[in-house]
Structure 1
Amino acid sequence: MSAWLTGFEGTEAGQSLALMLALLAAVLHAVFGALQKGRFDPWVSRAAIDLWAFSLMLPVALFVVPWPEPHMWPIFAGVFVIHALYKVLQAMTYSRGAYTVVYPVVRGTAPLFAVIGAGVLFGESFNAVQWLGVGVLLSGIYGLALYNLRHITVDRDTLVPALGFAVLTGACVALYTTFDAYGIRATADPFTFLAWFFVIDGLFIPLMVRNRLRAVPRADWIWLARRGLLGAVIAFGSFGGIMLATRLGQVGQAAVLRETSTVFAALFGWLMLGEQTGPRRVFLMGLIAAGAVVVQLAA
């Protein structure tokens, strides 16, 4: 499988496969976000997901994929620190501001910084039309945040610091996107990186919220375990898909495509949860999709 996949590197077919993986990651990321909502604290749900990801991937990392090269261990240490910082900033953001306002700011900040970071780290460059597409996408995402901001009535007193943390969280998303891309390109077998990534990344949240996990009623353990298992499988496709996309194709393009998850999240909310969308939100989501299309067609 690894030899087949790496055979696509540097080819037109590889770039096409990278775009498909990035789109799949966007869809699955929207589903992943929805799974963290519901009857439990979102961080308890995330802890259950991470525990399953750790448990499922540990035997794969130890016995299935090739052992990491020595130079990979400092990279894995960086992965742990960056993703831990991201999760702390994310918690500080979501605890202070309405999800519908801060989430688009996080996702809108991330691709801009990721494109810049990919240029510095990997020498990638966007042409003028692609930068126009990025601008269209960002205007849609930030416009969605402003639209939601005008219509919320709760947590307005903590909204300014929440937006500040949202920008920092978006910058951290861009940081881990580029650093993970560096990591998955630094090893001969990409699945070695993915297996150890999920093992390492699965430790922080369960340790951070262990007291909340202990407080979950026993009657809810089975339901939480099922939700965690489903979330872990989706995470393998979402986070694994975007990292494979950054190995096969351009990091900046993959980062932009992934942020169409904002559109898919709204669509799922409308189709499955009965949430109201309205013409203005449809227009803004259309801008997000149009920006992503421009970036790809102008490449």
Structure 2
Amino acid sequence: MSPFIFALVLVAAFLHASWNVVVKISADRFHAMYLLQVLMGVMGLGMLMVFPFPLAAAWPYVIASGLLHTGYNVFLARSYKHGDLGLVYPVARGTAPLLTLIGTQIFAQDVISSIAKAGIITLIIGIWLIALSADVFKAHRATFIYALITSLFIGCYTVVDGLGGRVAGDASGYTGLLFVLDGAFMLVAGYFYGGMDIIAAVLPKWKAGLFGGIMSGLAYWIVIWAMASAPIAAVAALRETSILFALAFSARLLKEPMSWRRVAGVFCVVAGAVALHG
């Protein structure tokens, strides 16, 4: 992985943790996810005006990803309804890099060095150390289940988008179409969640939604672009360094507790990231 891609994915990691804080502090997490995704759909329309429309070979990928992202959004919102950021975020992100690594070994032709594989495993261990420090198994059972299901969606859509971005002809055009579909699918999900009243409910929060939508959109745009030219599993694992930023936010802004396991997990995450950079 080149230093430029490495640095950009770290920026994406920071942005990803930031928009999760926006969702966590919202009074209604589903409303926050709904507004964020709809505004990202508007962002996607703008991107399609600038970048080439993806080739037909990418359309099945982008449709599948749009459906997977909708499931991800619903279960992430439910996770934050029951659990702290310092619990939900590590569990939701913890299994995804391993699932992505397995998926890319099956469906892609990526060549990953032994050092990079070791870095991915070390990073996953660090994330789970952080998750265990939050007494994940003692928490509300629904929190753990929802966060784990969220992780499954993450692993699936990451593989799909990595492959889709490569066959689209232009990764940015693929991202724009994905954002449009994500927004459209979320509109449908929102209708089943709260009917037409959901629009009136979220409009007063449009500023927070716009802020979160821009951060979320930029974060995943960077990731899809990076996966088009670098090993998908390596990019996906490096993105999960966002847990470092999430921990800082949870401790500083949300006053959630720290522990020695979290500190040990941080060292593992940093070591894994260094291995991926090498």
Q: Same fold (TM over 0.5)?
A: yes
**CA deviation map 1:55-102 (0-9, x unaligned):** 2332442x3332333333323222222222333443454456555334
Matches within 5 A, 1:111-130: 111-130=97-116
Q: CA RMSD in A?
A: 2.7
- What corresponds to 2:245 in structure 1? 264
- The letter of the residue matching 1:214 is D
Q: Deviations over 1:169-195 (max 9, x none)?
A: 322211111110111111222221111
The 1:60–1:135 alpha-carbon spacing in structure 2 relative to 1, beyond 3 Å, is closer
- 1:124 deviation in Å? 2.3
Q: 1:171 aligns with which of 152, 155, 172?
A: 152
Residue 107 of structure 1 corresponds to which residue in structure 2? 93
For the residue of structure 2 that corresponds to 1:277, the secondary structure is: coil
Residues 22-80 of structure 1, C-alpha deviations (whole Å, 9 max, x = no match):
1111110000101112242111111111221122332442x333233333332322222
Deviations 1:140-178 (A, max 9, x none): 2111111111796xxx4x41x543443333222111111
The worse-fitting range, judged by mean Cα deviation, of 48-57 and 251-260 is 48-57
Matched, 1:137 2:120: no
Checking the alignment, whether the CA contact within 8 Å between 1:18 and 1:244 is kept in structure 2 is: no
2:29 partner amino acid: P
Residue of structure 1 equivalent to 2:162: 181
Q: Residues 190-201 of structure 1 correspond to what in structure 2 (within 5 A)?
A: 190-201=171-182
Stretches of structure 2 lacking an aligned partner (at least 5 in a row):
none
1-side partners of 2:242 and 2:57: how far apart?
Answer: 33
Displacement of 1:245 after TM fit?
Answer: 0.9
Q: Does 1:83 align with 2:69?
A: yes
TM-score, with structure 1 as normaliser: 0.81
The answer as to whether partners of 1:18 and 1:246 remain within 8 angstroms in 2 is: no
Q: Deviations over 1:101-151 (max 9, x none)?
A: 343122110001111212222222444433332332222211111111179
Higher deviation after alignment, 134-143 or 21-30: 134-143
Question: Which of residues 7, 11, 16 is equivalent to 2:3?
Answer: 16
Aligned mate of 1:203, from 172, 177, 184: 184
Aligned with residue 236 of structure 1, among 201, 205, 217: 217
What is the distance in 1 between the residues matched to 2:135 and 2:69?
28
| Cα shift readout 1:238-278 (whole Å, capped 9, x = no counterpart) | 11011111012111111111111111111123344454434
Displacement after TM superposition at 1:281 (Å): 2.1
Residue 69 (structure 1) aligned with residue 55 (structure 2): yes
State the alpha-carbon separation in 1 of the partners of residues 94 and 210 from structure 2: 29
**What is the rounded CA distance, in whole Å, between the counterparts of 2:152 and 2:137 in structure 1?**
26
2: CA distance, partners of 1:150 / 1:185: 37
Secondary structure of 2:149's match? helix
Match of 2:135 in 1: 149
Q: Distance in 1 between matches of 2:185 and 2:44?
A: 15
Q: Which residue of 1 aligns with 2:28?
A: 41
Match of 1:227 among 184, 187, 208: 208
Provide structure 1 residue ranges, at least 5 long, that are not aligned to the other structure. Answer: 1-11
Distance 1:244 1:216, change over 3 A: closer
Q: Give the match for residue 8 of structure 1.
A: none
State the identity as a percent. 27
